Amino acid sequence: MKNVEKLLFGLVLFFGWAAHAQSVTFQDALAKAKDNNPSIRQLRLGHDSATWQKKKAFSTFMPKLSVNGEHRFGEKYMLMPVDFGGAHIEMPVESPYTDFNIRAAYTLFEGFGGMNNYKAASLQERASELELRRAEFQLEREVRSRFYQALGAQTLAMVAGQRVKNLEEHLDQAKRYVKYGYTTNYDALRIEVQLAEAKTEKLQADDNITLAKNRLAQIMGLESLPENLAGEFPSIDKIVIPADLQAEAQNRDDIQAKLLREESATRLAAASKAWWSPKLNVYADKTYYNFDDRDVAESSKYKDAYSVGVTLNWEIFDGGASWATQHQAANQEKIAAEATRAAMIQLPQEFDLWKRKYNYSVSVYKSKSVSITQAQEAVRQATAGKKAGTRTVNDLLDSELELDLNKAKLVQSQIDAIEALGNLELASGRALY
């Protein structure tokens, strides 16, 4: 097992050195993804917006202070008829040319709409925080999966390149043997067929590197990733899955966020019913004013007036807008409940699926680790037998092909296991590696 891991790690290192380019490790990729991933940025902004929405909702409990002023540059007064014992005259209805007003008001009662809105905003803020934390948790697993897919693609390309090189050497040797009569054209033709197929597989392996790196760059928030990747595959067989690992909703931040949003929708539905309730406010009002027309007023100096009181406002009918809003809020509450129910139904199935896939991938990894050791021994014996004349070149080609196939399957099993492990962590809500 250790020899197999050393072999694969050596292939990865050799591929990186051959590229002569700056390498990117998993930690580098993860750091860039956390800084540049558009979805994470959006969720951070969304959480900040939810925080401000909570502060906005709290403003219901704060007193309101307003200031306004007015100055008239010209005016034609309204006339009011006055009866002075049979004499009818018209007196101008005077108004200030300049006034300045300060008003303070506080809401005593408004049907508990403000309280419910504030509770809803608090729940939404907490939900957005959990959604951000879940997204960061998911991002790390997706970066890890895509990074090792790209790293595995590099390793598979190296294996494919080595196979092309081996077949080219065998073909040159076979042509020399044909020339001297040691073998037939059949052996050379068979090698040529395998070489043509190997070159095609090498082209596909190179394309897979580009595609895998593009997928990695996308989740990192980059347009491209020209650098090569460097690193070592995790020791899959050493990762221990806890025996008590279960699909529990309390460990899933996304499901907890849905529960909070469901509760928030319930609060908003309750707040929407406050429209029918009367609104009671207390206020204090202070006004400074002056009459700037000396023909009507005796003085142009500023005077003041004030009032303190209570206002009651009860909107009986607003055209049905509030009634419609109430029904919208009720439907949003039901939608949130259904979203939570869907997540709860999916939870155990998702957990079971990825647990099975992970166990299968680990089983394949262990099996191929043993197969590689056996295939290496078969290649050694075929090489020695060919030199001794007891084995043919076809025996050597078959053993080398079997070794290359097992190497490729081993790398693929590691890629599959890492992907399944990440999804199992997402399903359980727990970090396992």
Task: Quick: pLDDT tens for 37-74.
Answer: 999 999 999 999 999 999 999 999 999 999 999 888 87
pLDDT bin (cut points 50, 70, 90) of residue 196 is very high
| Average of per-residue pLDDT across 283-304 | 73
**Is it the case that residue 224 has pLDDT exceeding 50?**
yes
In the chain, % of residues over pLDDT 70: 93
Pick the CATH number of 2-62+114-275+321-428 from 1.20.5.510, 1.20.1600.10, 2.60.120.10, 3.40.190.10: 1.20.1600.10
**Is it the case that residue 29 has pLDDT exceeding 70?**
yes
pLDDT bin (cut points 50, 70, 90) of residue 301 is confident
147 within 8 A of 219, measured Cβ to Cβ? no
| Average of per-residue pLDDT across 165-189 | 83
Task: Quick: pLDDT tens for 304-358.
Answer: 899 999 999 998 888 888 899 999 999 999 999 999 999 999 999 999 999 999 9
- Domain ranges, ordered by start, for the chain: 2-62+114-275+321-428
**Is it the case that residue 183 has pLDDT exceeding 60?**
yes
pLDDT bin (cut points 50, 70, 90) of residue 5 is low
Given this model, what pLDDT does residue 63 score? Answer: 95
| Average of per-residue pLDDT across 111-122 | 95
| Average of per-residue pLDDT across 8-20 | 47
| Average of per-residue pLDDT across 375-380 | 93
Given this model, what pLDDT does residue 6 score? Answer: 52
**Is it the case that residue 11 has pLDDT exceeding 80?**
no
Euclidean distance between CA atoms 187 and 194, whole angstroms: 11
Q: Tell me the pLDDT of the chain averaged across its residues.
A: 89
| Average of per-residue pLDDT across 77-86 | 75
pLDDT bin (cut points 50, 70, 90) of residue 186 is confident
- pTM for this entry: 0.82
Pairing between strand 23-24 and 228-229?
parallel
Given this model, what pLDDT does residue 19 score? Answer: 44
168 within 8 A of 192, measured Cβ to Cβ? no
**Is it the case that residue 243 has pLDDT exceeding 90?**
no
Higher per-residue pLDDT: 97 or 134: 134
